[in-house]
């Protein structure tokens, strides 16, 4: 079952969120400090991922061109509007505002990164789910911490994670035929680094230092794919 790893990943997010809600009654001062700790950890992870790149020029070009597209399409507003729509359907007066924030923050954290892509490809090609099991454990723990501070909205991030990784798993065979292995490996490195900068931005937002519209940076991953394709076709990647 090629979707089993993706399913487990989504379930871990749900279970982590529910367990995190049990901890929601911790003191506000403690919640604030925990949120700062999460922000610092996320920022450190983003920095580590950023150094995976083979060429920082690719990261800069991907982020700049991707941001132009993201601002044009206004992805951040659309994602937040969807979060607020979820809030109107499932939220309470207590969760007003936090549900959308939890959904958007968790979605960006769980979707950005190479583990989802690599794990979904392994699931689709070899019916091997160990990478997604590991990602599920990490996402579950992160969900627990986020839900204790940002609320139940974190739970709904399981849906885009399942759709995104499930799509890759289902079409993994076609992807492996179309994209040569050397180009795919190069792309994963650049995607990891580009996504790392986005994760750094999420961390800075959680710390309250910035208000970066991170969703508007997401097209940078698509731009990275286009750049890698161009370099491969030009013979620079072998």
State what percent of residues in the chain have pLDDT above 90: 58
CA neighbor of 225 nearest in space, from 62, 115, 46: 62
93 pLDDT tier (thresholds 50, 70, 90):
low
Cα-Cα end-to-end distance for the chain = 34
Over range 131-135, report the average pLDDT.
Answer: 94
Give residue 54's pLDDT: 86
Residue 118 has φ and ψ, to the nearest 5°, of: -60, -45
pTM, full prediction: 0.87
> Does residue 95 register a pLDDT over 60?
no
Other Cβ atoms less than 10 A from the Cβ of 29: the count is: 8
Give residue 84's pLDDT: 87
> Does residue 96 register a pLDDT over 70?
no
226 pLDDT tier (thresholds 50, 70, 90):
very high
Give residue 1's pLDDT: 82
């Amino acid at each position: 079952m090629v979707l089993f790893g993706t399913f487990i990943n989504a379930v871990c997010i749900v279970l982590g969120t529910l367990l995190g809600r049990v901890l929601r009654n911790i003191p506000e001062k403690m919640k604030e400090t925990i949120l700062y700790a999460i922000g610092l950890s996320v920022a450190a992870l983003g920095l580590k991922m950023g150094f995976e790149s083979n060429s920082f020029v690719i990261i800069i070009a991907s982020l700049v061109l991707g941001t132009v597209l993201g601002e044009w399409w206004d992805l951040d507003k659309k994602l937040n509007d969807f979060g607020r729509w979820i809030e109107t359907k499932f939220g309470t007066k207590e969760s007003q505002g936090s549900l959308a924030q939890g959904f958007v923050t968790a979605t960006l954290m769980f979707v950005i990164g190479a583990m989802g892509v690599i794990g979904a490809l392994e699931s689709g090609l070899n019916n091997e789910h160990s990478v997604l099991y590991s990602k599920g454990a990490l996402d579950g723990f992160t969900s627990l911490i986020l839900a204790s501070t940002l609320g139940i909205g974190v739970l709904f991030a399981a849906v885009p994670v399942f759709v995104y990784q499930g799509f890759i798993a289902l079409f993994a065979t076609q992807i492996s035929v179309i994209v040569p292995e050397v180009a795919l490996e190069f792309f994963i490195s650049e995607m990891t680094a580009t996504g790392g900068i986005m994760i750094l931005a999420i961390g800075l937002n959680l710390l309250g230092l910035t208000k970066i519209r991170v969703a508007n940076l997401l097209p940078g991953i698509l731009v990275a794919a286009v750049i890698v394709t161009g370099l491969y076709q030009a013979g620079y990647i072998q």
